[in-house]
């Protein structure tokens, strides 16, 4: 019978939809430096897919894809380096968007595009309820578990206020989520975002 590493069991159990990963301040991969990732699911090959949550592209949805009205005024975020033609969204509209599913309490992913546009049109300030992401992040089977074991990622398997994911961005989000990692990771908050300042 094959021995299974306890860390492998732990990583498999926590890397489920809704798990939040936070990049170590020492992770220098330009794709993921100081990012916050939301795990969406496993892919067909038993790898993982997720969204970078805190990288604003400084471009509106109208500029990026001609989206009209209130939706067009919204910012677009970079979900990751894979399939940059694919659009994802997270929202707090609940069952107003058919076909979406709850990934965290009060936060849904995906669903019917027309329902989403209708929800946006009847919302006073959709910027507080919704974010669009271009592309996604992907890892092959076992890759993410190895990166976690190497210390590249911290795991946040619960968050008391998921709406932070729709209201914060950049280093502000990274710092807020890093605090959820607990005392063992407090030193992460002391390291500057630019290592040249160290």
- Domain assignment present for residue 8? The answer is no
Domain tally for the chain? 1
What does each of the 198 residues of the chain score in pLDDT, given as a tens digit?
A: 334 343 443 444 578 999 999 999 999 999 999 999 999 999 889 999 999 999 999 999 999 988 888 889 999 999 999 999 999 999 999 999 999 999 999 999 999 999 999 999 998 889 889 999 999 999 999 999 999 999 999 998 778 788 899 999 999 999 999 998 888 898 999 887 765 554
Q: What is the reported pLDDT for 127?
A: 87
Q: What is the reported pLDDT for 10?
A: 43
- Domain assignment present for residue 190? The answer is no
Q: What is the reported pLDDT for 158?
A: 77
**pTM (2 d.p.):** 0.88
- Domain assignment present for residue 171? The answer is yes
- Domain assignment present for residue 13? The answer is no
- Domain assignment present for residue 34? The answer is yes
- Domain assignment present for residue 2? The answer is no
Q: What is the reported pLDDT for 9?
A: 37
Q: 96, 120 in Cβ contact below 8 A?
A: no
For the domain that residue 90 is a member of, what is the CATH number? 3.40.1740.10
Q: What is the reported pLDDT for 191?
A: 80
| Interior angle at CA 131, CA 130 and CA 136, nearest 5 | 140
- Domain assignment present for residue 12? The answer is no
Q: What is the reported pLDDT for 124?
A: 87
Query: Which residues span the domain enclosing 175?
Result: 27-182
Closest Cα to residue 193, out of 164, 166, 172?
Answer: 172
How many angstroms separate the CA atoms of 61 and 138, rounded?
24
Q: What is the reported pLDDT for 6?
A: 38
- Domain assignment present for residue 9? The answer is no
């Amino acid at each position: 019978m094959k021995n299974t590493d306890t860390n492998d069991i732990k990583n498999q159990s926590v890397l489920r939809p809704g798990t939040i990963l936070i990049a170590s301040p020492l992770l220098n991969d330009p794709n993921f430096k100081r990012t916050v990732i939301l795990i969406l699911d496993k892919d067909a090959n038993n790898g993982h897919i997720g969204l970078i949550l805190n990288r604003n592209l400084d471009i509106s949805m109208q500029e990026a894809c001609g989206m009209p009205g209130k939706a067009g005024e919204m910012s677009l975020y970079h979900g990751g380096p894979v399939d940059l033609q694919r659009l994802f969204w997270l929202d707090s509209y609940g069952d107003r968007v058919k076909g979406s599913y709850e990934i965290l309490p009060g936060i849904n992913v995906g669903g019917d595009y027309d329902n989403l546009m209708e929800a946006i049109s009847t919302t006073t300030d959709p910027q507080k309820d919704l974010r669009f992401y271009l592309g996604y992040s992907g890892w092959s089977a076992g890759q993410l578990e190895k990166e976690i074991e190497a210390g590249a990622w911290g795991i946040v398997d619960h968050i008391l206020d998921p709406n932070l994911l729709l209201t914060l961005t950049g280093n502000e989000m990274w710092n807020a989520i890093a605090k959820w990692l607990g005392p063992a990771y407090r030193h992460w908050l002391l390291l500057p975002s630019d290592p040249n300042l160290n």
